[in-house]
Structure 1
């Protein structure tokens, strides 16, 4: 996916990064030691073969002069913090970090190296799998997501703190930031921003039953799941994590909008009982939050086609009536 947030670097800069991370003895030779992994939407990622044949991935944050959405600021630091938490407190497989550099000495943004995962991306290969196999992976993903949500925080919001004392205050700020981002760029979301804000305000009371901050991965789509031999071998891309309500996780989104896929296997693997009426209201708010981001981010990413924008606009036209909004 093309995006102006992808911070591509010259071969000389990439070699300098490799030398700092792995030492001069591992500087690659030849002409075919690097290729870009193109399915990401935000950071640029390179697959690199070191001199001894070891394959690694280099992930580079967006350049500082590119404006990102409010919730995306400092995303790489969030990912590094998430990887530490997940490795220390859960059994969910994630890549280790070989080297991280936030000095801005070799390039203008944060970056880190991790081992290359020799596995298939579920989001890419699932069309070639049987329905039973896809369901099995989604059930395993639900169980893994529940494990991630077992991590407890001390406040709601960013992993780096200080956070909010209540989930209502935190989510109000989060979704308010998204709307402000849209207004700043005059993004046409298909509804008056005032109407969307009114819908949110009218439903904030349903957030009050969430009292314990839990680690939320939030971006756990099929495209971030690496599989091999019938098992999930790694979860990647953790830069959108925060402490919040586990019900906001991506795997539950299909409960509200079928266009996001059948959530049955995920929910079964997670072990979540049938949602209460209050939980359904919370879920609708979370789907509204997601769809607003999907519309507005197309402007910030500089998308050259309208495919995602058009698709997300259609989803907003489905979710707003769930609140009784015409």
Structure 2
């Protein structure tokens, strides 16, 4: 069997596994009747380890292995189990999402969750965008809008992560998220104050009474496209492990689409089926802070592939969060 891994820092969230252990995990996942010919670690993503698994007979598959629980932030706990729970709710876009063939959360073999999925064709959209004329990007954003709308049309019964939707109100779910992030950051300032402000303003958040399915990370990096397509045709959607039931305005796809008006991103709103509106008000301020804190967690993640963050990156993030906090306090 051929095995190829990626060298990572010892403290990396994506901790490498040795060839023998990965092969052992693969054999449990694919079954004794299938012979594994090659296992190749994929460079995509920053959280789970992902491996392409080539079998002697049959199509390639993807083995994804979550970090050990001790390496997960509180707000990211058991994301792979959340992803597993979300899969049935993506029936409307089933042709674009990988099928889960096997999942093992027992920790009998390794102290990490893992699952085996079908291998989707295509390359990450940013890779194809870099080789495509900019006017062609509009087609991609149009497709992302259409897919995002399909996801948002799925309604739930409670708020919060799909695998643990335990909140009867959206405000309670958002406040709990902020408090978990504060614990992750060991924060005694802005983040705890944001949680307090969100709680004070929870009546505005609670105007959202119907939980809708949010992908949580549905932007270009998690869309696969056909590299040979002139129009950047979407072939797959990955990594819905941060999916939750909540307010569509809070979804990462909506927040990203609101940026850079007047560019190719405007096509998102045509696909989504509604005009672009300038999102403002209390809820948008809270959601903006929420996503900034998600970026902060990624900045400080041990062993991140892009290297340690600069003091300026941390300071800028903190300043932007502080400015939002000031505006919330003035309401």
TM-score category, normalised to shorter length: 0.7 to 0.9
2:240 aligned partner: 238
The alpha-carbon distance between structure 1 residues 17 and 257, as it changes in their structure 2 partners (threshold 3 A), is same
Q: Tell me, in whole angstroms, the C-alpha distance in 2 between the residues paired with 1:207 and 1:27.
A: 52
Q: How many residues align?
A: 314
Cα offset, 1:318, TM superposition: 3.9
Aligned to 1:48: 53
Question: Equivalent residue of 2:300, what SS?
Answer: helix
Q: Give the Cα–Cα distance (whole angstroms) in 1 for the partners of residues 30 and 71 of structure 2.
A: 32
- SS at 1:226 equivalent: strand
**What root-mean-square deviation, in Å, do the aligned CA atoms of Structure 1 and Structure 2 show?**
3.0
Q: For residues 277-315 of structure 1, what are the alpha-carbon distances to aligned partners after superposition, in whole Å with 9 as ceiling and x for unaligned?
A: 7x5431221121111121134334343733487546424
- How far apart, CA to CA, are the structure 2 residues paired with 1:285 and 1:181? 18
Partner of 2:160: 157
Which of 215, 221, 224 is equivalent to 1:223?
A: 221
Aligned to 1:103: 106
Unaligned ranges ≥5, structure 2: 1-5
The 2-side partners of 1:307 and 1:128 are apart by: 28
Deviating beyond 6 angstroms after TM superposition, the runs of 4 or more aligned structure 1 residues are none
Q: Which residue in 2 is equivalent to 1:180?
A: 183
Aligned match for 1:117, one of 102, 120, 128: 120
The CA deviation string for residues 92-147 of structure 1, in whole angstroms up to 9 with x for no partner, is 62011121122222221111111222212102221222222212111110110110
Q: For residue 34 of structure 1, what is the aligned residue in structure 2?
A: 39
Structure 2 counterpart of 1:283: 284
Q: How does 1:123-162 map to 2 (within 5 A)?
A: 123-162=126-165
Give the structure-2-normalised TM-score: 0.83
Q: Give the distance between the partners of 1:73 and 1:238, measured in 2 at CA.
A: 14
Structure 1 residues 299 and 247: alpha-carbon distance in aligned structure 2, compared to 1, 3 A threshold: same
Give the superposition deviation at 1:164. 0.9
Distance 1:143 1:308, change over 3 A: farther
C-alpha spacing 1:315/1:235, structure 2 compared with 1 (3 Å): same
Residue 263 of structure 1 deviates from its aligned partner by 4.3
Partner of 2:323: 321
Given candidates 14, 21, 27, the residue that maps to 2:29 is 21
- The answer for the alignment partner of 2:266 in structure 1 is 264
CA-CA distance at 1:35 after TM superposition: 1.5
Which has the larger displacement, 264-273 or 216-225?
A: 264-273
